[in-house]
Amino acid sequence: MTLAFAILLVLMLLLGAPLFAVILAATMLGFYSAEIDLTVITAELYRIANTPLLVALPLFTLAGYLLSESNTSERLLRLTRALFGWMPFGLAVISLLTCAAFTAFTGASGVTIIALGALLLPVLVKEGYDAKFSLGLVTTSGSLGLLLPPSVPLILYGVIVQQINIGEKFTLPELFMAGLLPTLLMIALLSVWALWANRHVELDKTEFNWAEAFAAIKAIAWELPLPLFIVGGIFGGYLAISEVAAATALYVLVVEMFVYREIRFANLTKVVTDAMQMLGGILLILGVSMAFTNYLIDAEVPMRLFDWVKAHIDSKISFLLLLNLFLLVLGAILDIFSALVIVVPLIVPIAIGYGIHPIHLGIIFLANMQIGYLTPPVGMNLFIASYRFNKSITELYKATLPFMLMLLLAVFIITYVPWLSTWFLPQLASQ
């Protein structure tokens, strides 16, 4: 019977069945074989829908889609260039900072490549940067920002781990704080590579212009307060995460529709529909995945897996190395949302058994997923950049390889220096 179930699931995958349908089928077959009433699946879906933290996801997603549909990317690039363009190799650093900020707010790296890539690539080449370097920089920068608030994958990780309800408790603001230093480390290492790779290149220098700086600030003045909703609202303790999400979505809607007037009422329906369709797919997979996780827990699969890992891996250092290798492979074959809802419930209990804090694990997980955007065979950013810039996948592999190696170094440091992710937790800061 078990073999027949496995064959059925494989056939569903081969025939192109949606991921949620395959997971749901596995869940139903598992509970049925264990003679457990299938109403537990409905209860799990209701429990997910009733999670207060889940309210923030659609609101932040909508805000991100609204920003990506407007000219925010152009204003953000103009601002960073006006303020930092005078620095040596300033445009390369500007590209990294701008893409990280834009990815954090839109929650989608592919959108960053489409929205900012077309602006950055010709400017980088025009200023004297090598075309191959510029292509690699723009493609890699699109994956930055997934560890910064209010990144949707970051919130989703928090939701999943809180539903599992094991290990040490943490709040979403703590998870947001955990991603700050690792992101700065990634940007710093990529900036060092940018300086080294262009050390012999004569670049056009841009002098600081006060008039242009004030004009750039004025142009983006209505969007500059957005980070204050996160920093002041959440970290200041004035608003709950759902309230911050609501304030952000409402503010963005008003600014883009009535101040900048870049989103018309006729287009608003499509923007909202696209945002909610994307989120609806994630939530559907999340609901059935959590039900499947409950079945696995009932069948003691995580404990058996932990016992097997413990029998073969006797140290935390070795486990972390194996975990990174596994996550790199995972990122190469699964998109980030599928990886989150399918794998996180399985690895969290094992990691906790090795004394790894869930916050540190989340940063390791998402940092690896960032590299997964650049890794074949899936490598979503590679395909998006290939389509956007009309370049072959082979060219993009070669262009992004040095940047990916720097990100791998960053992941290694993040993994074995947990302080970078837990510096704000008194009980862990000294470890």
How do the domains of the chain map onto residue ranges? 37-429
Amino acid at 295: Y
Residuewise pLDDT in 10s, the chain (431 residues): 456 666 777 777 677 777 678 778 878 887 877 777 877 777 777 776 666 667 777 888 888 888 878 888 788 878 877 887 777 667 788 888 888 887 877 766 566 777 677 778 887 887 778 889 989 988 888 778 888 887 888 888 988 888 777 767 788 888 888 999 999 999 999 999 988 888 777 665 667 888 888 998 999 899 888 877 777 777 776 777 788 888 888 998 999 999 998 888 888 888 888 888 877 777 777 777 777 777 776 777 766 776 777 777 878 888 999 999 888 888 777 778 778 887 888 888 888 888 899 999 999 999 998 888 787 766 777 877 887 788 888 888 889 999 999 999 999 999 999 999 998 876 554 44
- Residue 116: half-sphere exposure toward Cβ, Cα within 13 Å: 37
DSSP strands (E only) in 86-232: none
Q: Which alpha helices (H) appear in 165-315, and where do they start and end?
A: 172-178, 180-197, 210-219, 226-228, 241-254, 265-298, 301-312
Q: Are 288 and 20 in contact (CB under 8 A)?
A: yes
CA distances from 309 to 177, 304, 323 (A): 31, 9, 11
Tokens for 82, please give them.
């006006």
Alpha-carbon span 370 to 401, nearest angstrom: 14
Which pairs count as long-range contacts for 310-317, CB under 8 Å and 24+ apart, including other chains?
Answer: 310/353, 316/354, 316/355, 316/356, 317/416
